[in-house]
Amino acid sequence: MSAVMHRERTVSLWGKQINPRVFVGGEGPPVVFLHGAGGLLWDDFLDALARRHTVYAPEFPGTSPGEYEAIKVLDDWHDLVVYYSELIDALGVEDVALVGHSFGGMIAAEIAAANPRSIAKLVLLAPLGLWRDDTPIPPWLSMNAAELSKLFFHDQTIAQRFMLSPDAAAAQPEVLIAATWALACAGKFTWPIPDRGLRDRMHRISAPTLLVWGDEDALVPPVYAQDFKAGLTDARLAMVENAGHALIHERPAETARAVVDFLNI
Amino acid sequence: MRRFAPPSHDAPKNYTRRRVYDINVIRNYENFLNEGPDMKVSFFGVMPHRELPADFEQRYKSVWVDPPFTELADPVKVGQWYNWTLDEYVHAAKAGFDGVCVNEHHQNAYGFMPGPNLMASVLARETNHLNTAVVMLGSTLTTNYPLRIAEEYAMIDAISGGRLVAGMPPGSSMDSNQAYGVPPIETRDRSAEAHDLILRAWQAKKPFAFNGKYTKLPKVNIWPRPIQPKPPVWIPGAGSASTWEYVARNQHCYCFVSFFGRKMAQNVLDGYWAFNDKFGLDRNPYRAGFNQVCVVGETDAACERDNAKHIEYFYRRTLHVPEHYWALPGYQDYPSLEKSVRSGVVAKMTEKLAQFKTYKYKDFVNDEMIIAGGPETVRDRLIDLSKRLRVGNLMLEMQLGSMPPELTKQNIDIFTRKVLPHLRGVWGDEWENHWWPERCRAVPAAKSRERADA
């Protein structure tokens, strides 16, 4: 699926207790991409970013091969935010643009709030992190593959390329194990309610911010985009039509275009 | 060897004249101890919804977590069911069961004793004239404040005069993760920490500070303390090696609580014993417990006639749970996840759960999921199961789903009269059951034979 060559590198962090893989590809000003709860997949969206940027895509702690215990050493949300500061330092990038999708967006926003001067630009793709009682975010960790498919994708024919059918899962146990464990690791910081207080801290984010939302997002409905926009000091919103929560997989070209345009203003 | 047993399980004729809490018996139980085999059998009921509608599975996604109480239950009837459940337990204790076993579940119509300690405190009091263990299987470690479990278990041991079995389950994924919001990946860690705190709180001579990840306390100094210097601890598990290690390290009893019967349990128990061999522990069968669905009639045919519809109700309705609910991602640790996916256990479980929808009573019997029939059948199957799994502590789920109290009591009576005496000697006199309250250990062999002949 991927056209741009990317390489893997491993960084050693947190007193060598967490050693994530980082996928690196492309050329140009640096972008750090934080993936969502389902794990890292380098596909058309990251390809498109990598045509204009050097993309660094680290795997979430616990989700790299042989690293399943790594999730245990981050006790709480504070640990996680400090860990990501350490990771960005270790990548050796300056004036970095931080791009996060879904759970990755929730982390990216938090990093930008904790260290406002270290992030040049911020892109939040259908981020988690806020909560509205009138629009509760469905508890995805308690759902099966069929339910998740409908929750993440607007177009179910596209979903089939990304979601594991029961037959495919039986044929590729390692894929099912990895996907389950990725959800488990993200669940440490998102279950039962994906809100760790960002609303109280988001005013600190000083980086110009782009919000990108699928207009058919069933997990984090677009009403949340308005809450983010209202709470950020410098934010603009781009909507992607006919896209669900997995907009980077469902509409990779449109989503990437919005991101690249914003980063190169 | 001095072994056991004060007043017999049968309520003595003059028991109403005995003091309910007899300090002389409790302090001097050694004087009553006799020789004898020590197989222990507990009555297990879960306090189910007994009148779910016939189209329940079609109308509702799940019996657990999701079904609305206000649509499905009447609080006055529910009060009746709690009282029936308590009656059934007391009846089982009086009839001669060694233990009464309660557990904790939330937000469901399968069995809703969210506060097992409340049930147990009633049972502790009601059985004070008997020698029945109060088996907590128990307060779930992730859904309660750990210190509260330490205190309430100590209260149960106090009220019962030292008859507590302190089960320490993590809680099902539905309960811990969905009903109580514990991140699945923390379930084990939280349980382990709570377990450590509870045991230390019981044993510490002086107040101590506890700096856990999930509980931090400046001065732990609980009142009361258990009467038993070291209450037996049972840990339920579902076959993960990390639990086996934990059980072995702490010298606890490992319990496999399942509705699937011996066939699905064999791998788990074989794995447990192989692990213990490697760990250097003996093969004392009382290191293991097993939960079995079991009903008894005067004959095989009578058993089927009376119990078939309740068995089918139990599996079809009260176990109507979407398969992925049993373990949200992270509830199993990584090695267990890997093992269960690669070994095909997940696929097998899925297949079993699907069978519930169409299986009839006979299918459950033939598939060894349930043990049911006349006394001889049930006796033979239970002895076979105990030996093959090597378990010395049996829990029998004998009140199932829609079963009314009269039938439950009939099952109990036939079982305790005609089956239980034959189970006593399964493990001979070779092993001591260190995982049973000391004052309740063993039954005199002579008495057992006497009852078998009766």
Q: Give the pLDDT confidence of A118-171 residue by residue, as tens digits.
A: 999 999 999 999 999 999 999 999 999 999 999 999 999 999 988 887 777 788
Q: Between chain A and chain B, how many beta carbons pairs sit less than 8 Å apart?
A: 66
All residues of chain A having their beta carbon less than 8 Å from the beta carbon of residue B347 are 170
Q: What is the pLDDT of residue B129?
A: 86
A73 touches B at CB < 8 Å:
no
- A183, A184, A192: residue with CB nearest B181: A192
Q: Report the alpha-carbon distance of residue A212 to residue A225 in Å, rounded.
A: 8
Residues in chain B where the model's pLDDT stays below 70: 1-19, 31-35, 443-454
Q: Report the alpha-carbon distance of residue B1 to residue A57 in Å, rounded.
A: 68
Q: Report the alpha-carbon distance of residue B380 to residue B66 in Å, rounded.
A: 40
Say whether B185 and A180 touch across the interface (CB within 8 A). Answer: no
- B65, B185, B337: residue with CB nearest A71: B185
Say whether B181 and A68 touch across the interface (CB within 8 A). Answer: no
Say whether A142 and B177 touch across the interface (CB within 8 A). Answer: yes
Nearest CA in chain B to A179: B329
For A62-118, write each residue's pLDDT tens digit. 999 999 999 999 999 999 999 999 999 999 998 999 999 999 999 999 999 999 999
Q: Of B14, B29, B45, nearest to B129 (Cα)?
A: B14
What's this model's pTM, rounded to 2 decimal places?
A: 0.94
- A75, A177, A184: residue with CB nearest B184: A184
A177 touches B at CB < 8 Å:
yes
Say what angle helices B300-313 and B405-418 make with each other, to 10 degrees: 130
- B213, B324, B329: residue with CB nearest A75: B213
Say whether A183 and B330 touch across the interface (CB within 8 A). Answer: yes
Q: How far is A187 from chain B (nearest CA, A)?
A: 6
> In the 8-state DSSP scheme, what is residue B317?
I
Q: What is the pLDDT of residue B243?
A: 93
Say whether A144 and B322 touch across the interface (CB within 8 A). Answer: yes
Nearest CA in chain A to B350: A166
Instruction: Scan residues 76-135 of A and list those with Cβ closer than 8 Å to B.
Output: none
A183 touches B at CB < 8 Å:
yes
Main-chain phi, psi angles of B234, to 5 degrees: -115, 135
All residues of chain B having their beta carbon less than 8 Å from the beta carbon of residue A176 are 341
| CB contact set of B234 (below 8 Å; sequence gap of 6+) | B135, B137, B138, B165, B166, B167, B168, B252, B253, B254, B255, B289, B393, B435
All residues of chain B having their beta carbon less than 8 Å from the beta carbon of residue A75 are 213
Q: How far is A112 from chain B (nearest CA, A)?
A: 25
Q: Report the alpha-carbon distance of residue B375 to residue A238 in Å, rounded.
A: 73
Q: What is the pLDDT of residue B179?
A: 98
Q: What is the pLDDT of residue B388?
A: 98
**CA dihedral in degrees (B234, B237, B242, B247; nearest 10)?**
10
Q: Report the alpha-carbon distance of residue B381 to residue B294 in Å, rounded.
A: 10
Q: What is the pLDDT of residue B15?
A: 44
Q: Of B151, B139, B145, nearest to B114 (Cα)?
A: B139
Say whether A141 and B329 touch across the interface (CB within 8 A). Answer: yes
Say whether A188 and B181 touch across the interface (CB within 8 A). Answer: no
Q: Report the alpha-carbon distance of residue A216 to residue A109 in Å, rounded.
A: 22
Say whether B341 and A177 touch across the interface (CB within 8 A). Answer: yes
Q: How far is B189 from chain A (nearest CA, A)?
A: 9
